[in-house]
Amino acid sequence: MSLMSNYPDGFKEGLILAGIPLVGTKAGNTYWVDSNIGSTSYKGTHPKRALTTLDAAIGKCIANNGDLIFIAPGHTESLAADSAVDIDVAGITVIGLGKGEDRPIFTFATDTDADFKIAAANTAIYNMVFKCNIAAQEMMIEVTGDDAQIGHCEFREGSAQSKTCITVGVADNDADRCYIHDCKFYVPTAGDGDAAISLAKDMAGVRIERCDIYGDFDLAGIDIPAGGNAQVDVKIDDCRITNLLTGQHAIQINGTGSTGMLSKIYCVTDALATSIDAGGCEMFDCYHNVGTDQGGWEPIVDSDSANDILGADNNNNAFASTNVASNRDGSIIERTETTIAGIFDAVSEPPTAKSLHDILHKDGSYTFDNTTDSLEAIADALIVVDAFHDIGTADATTNVVMSDVVGNKTDAAATVAATKSLVAYAKQNVNQTLKLDGVTIATAPTAASLASFIASGGTSLGTQLPATCSLYDVLAGANGVPVFPAAAAPANTVSIAEVEREIYDQMEKGISGATAVMTNGDTIFTIAGGPIEIMELVSECITLNDATASTLQYSADPTVGAATTFSGASGSLANAAAGSGVVLNQTALATAPDLVDPLVCLSGVNARGIIVGAGIITIVIGVGTTTGTWKHFLRYRPLGRGVTVTAT
């Protein structure tokens, strides 16, 4: 006899099981999911004959039939693709069994688009754990069905953070009346987390109740961005929200076009100003704390309300200040009264002490005559043209008026003297300055002048730049250096460009050849000017080989001396795939190179390095020419100045 309880007629008034409401007026089908004992061959209608995945159970449900899915304690699933789980059957309820870590756990991995979708209407999920192991995962749950419920679930970071835990909506009103309640969100590590809950599009009747949110969120614990800034009747109630990121909100609603209510919210952020942006919604019984040990809870009030001391929210921003006394050291309103009083005093007669009128008069007289005391009258008095503004005579030696100091355009250049003008000094400075369009200094430079530093005390500016070359071209321009000098070791009279060429000639380099089939005796690299040390030699397969069992061996044929192989023969290259490769091992001249598929490996073993003199590097192909094409890569160090390597 089965020990399971059986209620074939369902529960007309609904049922609460372990704190989770099960609603439905008729009995539907019941399915079981258990990754530990389940099988894909089972029907899933009995706990001991469970299915292995939630999506498999969803596929067996009938729309709007009141079907119920139970997920066994200890069940785990790894979701690695978009819509890995998709609740796309209307009217079903999914319940996770167990407590704590024994609850069903869904872990997101591999793909940033991996998610758990709720796409059908009138569905509910309860008592599950969702964990992110993908950096920059877009979201854990995406809701796009009306009247969806998410209750008693936990969302947490694993090895990474999801951008959002729950995103409601990809289009306006596709998830109306979504109900998120009794959930916990834990994302404390700074990184990719934008928000625990995002109402991404305009919805009607969304409810978020009794949720604990704790994390480092780039936007807010609960975020309603510009795309969702016209929420209708949104309700956020009885939630505790901590945002660890400085300057970011606990709740942030874009714009002022949303309607609804925020109530009984306890926020922890770095400042009261970053607690809640209500976005046009009503707000009451909300509190803020900065997160200190002894900090109390500070009420959060809307800064634009009819009771705001700075003004009423009406068409004339009226505020009754009848009983506010003028006080220059008092509140903002009292200081404003003082300012207004001072303005009236400025135009009244007699003015009060320290008023603007009092400050403008020096003799204690309070009589104002606009013909002499107005700003216009004062300006007229300042417009006077006299001899002080006239042009002086050339080379004047007097020092009486302003024109004597400034001088005449025809004043001759002069050195410093008591009777010379500014024009004379300016001409002298020009004469002592380098000509910008010439190649010599205008005059022999005086000691310690700028010209003497540029020309080393002489009149020559040195070698000119070529006619079509600028200083920018030499340093960073596309034209570059017209003729680069030969390499030279650092020494007196040696230029930077010569030393740069020396450094380049002596440094380690890399080179690669053309893509082609491999034929016995092919030259792949030519060495000139002296020997090199081989650092790495790799041959990469570009297109697929056929079944020909070719082998690859490397050989050096010096300009002076006999050809010598410096590796053993590789393994068979039959059917070598594109992206595979052969990597030289430098333990001995007879060591076979490694055959790697794909070409992702440690570099070849280099016990001592291989020295190859001037000449050519060829390949020895055993059995027969390859049908696939290959490309050869060489990294080498020249052992002398002027040593070069070219690829075939």
Check residue 304 and give its pLDDT: 44
pLDDT at position 319 over 90:
no
Please tell me the predicted confidence (pLDDT) of residue 119: 97
User: What span, in angstroms and rounded, lies between the C-alpha atoms of 6 and 92?
Assistant: 19
Q: Please, which residues bridge with residue 297 across strands? A: none
Predicted TM-score (pTM) of the model is: 0.49
Q: H helices within 209-365, ranges in order?
A: 332-347, 356-360
pLDDT at residue 335 greater than cutoff 80: no
CA 594 to chain centre: 41
Listed in sequence order, the residues at least 6 apart from 146 whose beta carbon sits closer than 8 Å to its beta carbon are: 121, 122, 174, 175, 176, 177, 178
What letter would DSSP give residue 462?
Answer: -
- Provide φ and ψ at 644, rounded to 5°: -130, 155
In Å, what is the CA distance from 31 to each residue of 69, 73, 95, 194, 270? 5, 14, 11, 36, 47
CA distance 334 to 454: 66
Residue 502 Cα distances to 255, 509, 564, angstroms: 63, 14, 31
Q: Are 319 and 332 in contact (CB under 8 A)?
A: no
**Measured CA angle at 541 (ends 539, 545), to 5 deg:** 130
- What are the Cα distances from residue 159, in Å, to 129, 243, 603? 15, 20, 30
pLDDT digits (tens, 9 = 90+) for 578-592: 999 999 999 999 999
Could you tell me if 231 and 196 are in contact, meaning their C-beta atoms sit under 8 angstroms apart? no
Per-residue model confidence (pLDDT) at position 20: 56
Among residues 266, 263, 222, 209, the alpha carbon closest in space to that of 240 is found at: 266
Mean pLDDT of all residues belonging to the chain = 84
Q: Which of 106, 179, 183, 191 is nearest to 140 (CA)?
A: 106
- Asked if the model's pLDDT at residue 442 lies above 50, the reply is no
* Residue 189 identity: T
Q: How high is the pLDDT of residue 38? A: 96
61's CB contacts (< 8 A; 6+ apart) are: 28, 29, 31, 67, 69, 89, 92
Give the integer Cα–Cα distance in Å for 567 and 416. Answer: 83
Cβ contact 201:170 at 8 Å: yes
pLDDT, mean of residues 124-144: 97
pLDDT at 432 over 90: no
- Cα–Cα distances (Å) from 403 to 188, 384, 413, 415, 430, in that order, read 74, 16, 17, 19, 21
**pLDDT bucket at 612, cuts 50 / 70 / 90:** very high
Length of the chain: 648
Element (H, E) at 534: strand 532-541
- Residue 641: pLDDT above 60? yes
Q: Is the pLDDT of residue 436 over 50?
A: no
Dump pLDDT digits (tens) for 5-61. 555 555 545 566 655 555 444 569 999 999 999 999 999 999 999 999 999 999 999
Q: Please check the confidence at residue 385 and state whether its pLDDT lies above 50.
A: no
Task: State the Cα torsion 12-14-15-19 to the nearest 10°.
Answer: 180
